[in-house]
Structure 1
Amino acid sequence: MRLVMMAAVAVTMAAPAWADLVKIEDQGQFVRLINGKTLTRPMVKLTVSPDGQIEGRGSLWEIEGSWSWQGGFFCRDLFWGGDALGYNCQEVQASADGQIKFTSDRGAGDSAMFRLR
C-alpha cells in the first residue's frame, strides 16, 4: 500500500501544473494570445485567426470553422473532415509557458490542451 501511495504522489508531482492556468476573460486578451501562433497537440495543428476563422488539420482531415467571443467564452462552429462538430462555447485558460486549454460547455465539459507555437 505504501508503494502505491508513493507512486501516486510521484505522478501528481510530475503532472502539469494546472494551477498555473489563468482564465482568459475577454476577446482582446484571447486575440493577443493566439495572434500569429499555431495551436498544436499530437496529430492536430490549428490556426485561430483574429478575424474569426479556424483552419488546420486533425489527423488526416481538414478542420475549418469560425469563432466569436461571447460573454467571456470562445464560441466556435467547427467542421472536421467535412463533418459538423457543432456550435459550442468554451472556457479558455492559458499558462505563461505557452499552453492553452479549451473546456467545452462553458467550462463544464471535456477539455483539450494545446501548445502555442
Structure 2
Amino acid sequence: MKYAILSLIFATAAAPAAADSYVPVKDQATFLSLVQGKELRNFFYGVRLQVLPNGDIDGSAIGWEIDGNWSWQDGYFCRELSWGGDPIPYNCQLVEARGNDRVKFTVDQGAGDSASFRLQ
C-alpha cells in the first residue's frame, strides 16, 4: 500500500510538459549546484528530501522516513530508495530545472511519469 502511495507522490506532482519551461540538466556538477544545501519539497504530498553530494538521500514523505543513495550515470540521476523500510527499486531519471528553485525528475530516463519539487 505504501509503495502505491509513494508512486502516486512521485508520479503525479508535475504539471504537463507543455506548460512549463524546464531545461535538461546534463551533468552531475550542474545538478549538485542546484540541490546542494537545499531541501527538495513537494508541499502537496509532504515530501522533503535532501540529495547529498556524498551519494546519500535523506528525507520523509507522509510521515515515513526516506533514505537511499544516488549516482549520476550517462546524464541521468540514478537512485535506489527505501520509504518507511520498504524498498523502491533502482531507477535512472531525467532531471530538468526551472530556474534555481524548481527541479523535475522523470522516471525511466525521461520516458515515464514526472514529479516536480521546489528547492528551498
The TM-score bracket by the shorter chain reads: 0.7 to 0.9
Which of structures 1 and 2 has the larger relative contact order (alpha carbons within 8 angstroms, sep 6+)?
2
The 1:107–1:47 alpha-carbon spacing in structure 2 relative to 1, beyond 3 Å, is: same
Q: Please, which of 62, 85, 110 is the counterpart of residue 59 of structure 1?
A: 62
Matched, 1:23 2:24: yes
> Which residue of structure 2 lines up, in the alignment, with residue 89 of structure 1?
92
Identity of aligned residues (%): 50
List aligned pairs for 1:1-117, cutoff 5 A.
18-42=19-43, 43-96=46-99, 98-117=101-120
Aligned residue pair count: 103
Supply the distance in 1 between the matched residues of 2:98 and 2:113 (Cα, whole angstroms). Answer: 18
Structure 1 residues 17 and 95: CA distance shift in structure 2, 3 A:
farther
How much does 1:17 deviate? 7.2
Q: Computing the radius of gyration over CA atoms, which structure comes out larger, 1 or 2? A: 1
What code does the residue aligned with 2:76 have? Answer: F
Tell me the TM-score normalised to structure 2 length: 0.81
Gaps of 5+ in 1: 1-14
For the aligned residues, what is the CA RMSD?
1.6
Listed as ranges, the gaps of 5+ residues in structure 2 are: 1-15
1:18 positional shift? 4.2
Amino acid at match of 2:64: W
Provide TM-score, normalisation by structure 1. Answer: 0.83
Secondary structure of the 1:29 match is helix
Secondary structure class of the residue paired with 1:33: helix
Q: Distance in 2 between matches of 1:87 and 1:102?
A: 14
Moved beyond 6 Å, runs of 4+: none
